A and B are shown apart, each in its own frame.
Chain A
């Protein structure tokens, strides 16, 4: 079971208590009625869907109920860090990043195993 650190409970808790809540740090345009359709689509619909390090919002819905931000590696599913909502995007500590990249190489991805299957 994956343990996720809640920055409000200051505790590592089971993934069952959490809900994913989309990409983090998406700022709502200030004059939203004045922006073009393309700009609105960019803000409202388009997400980066990055492979590797990604910043997401999570909610400790069955615990303290708070939303918070997390830096997560989408390849290894490893949480690199979590921090309170409202804080600016936090840099991931270098050591954690290295560990995550090393782990990434050993993770069995579809791309990596596809060749064997054929």
Chain B
């Protein structure tokens, strides 16, 4: 009898196995995460925050984190919620009675973690945002451009960023970041 276990399909992640960077900026693919694209009116933010267990930020360019979930402000009525913890993100939104739109984009995006003293410079090789600590402190986030693609940027530490990118653009993003990391080391 055939061993079914041998025929099991395995999921290949968009950036599986890649590694790169330079002496000043390290690049690594982030682990898989659940993601929600969330839209809601300001009067429903409180109810959704309770349902998701995370206070949705209402100030531009800010994020909030708790229990493995991070909510990123993208616009006055739009958030990207990333769950790297317990899961159940979409269900939590579905259980909320307040009117909103929640779309599961877990597999639309992947993320690249950029860290090290040259991290900001590596990103700035293709991104026009001011990434000084004053203009873009720890916890700051924004949708912006990186080269010719759109990305969502989150500063996770003084010298660390999470670059959320559409999966089909991840090769391009990793390639350009590698170039940027090399330039930052010059």
Contact = CB atoms under 8 A, between A and B. Distances in A.
**Looking at chain B's contact residues, is the secondary structure mostly helix, strand, loop, or mixed?**
strand
Interface stretch (B12-20, B112-120, B138-146, B178-186): B138-146
Contacts of B128: 1, 13-14, 16-17
Interface residues of A, number: 14
Interface of B: 60-61, 74-76, 78, 128-129, 142-145, 150
Contacts of A17: 128, 144-145
B151 to A, nearest CB: 9
A22 interface: no
**Looking at chain A's contact residues, is the secondary structure mostly helix, strand, loop, or mixed?**
loop
Interface of A: 1, 8-11, 13-14, 16-17, 62-66
Given A9-B60, A10-B60, A16-B128, A66 B75 contact: yes
Contacts of B78: 64-65
Contacts of B142: 9, 63
Contact of A16 (B60, B74, B145): B145
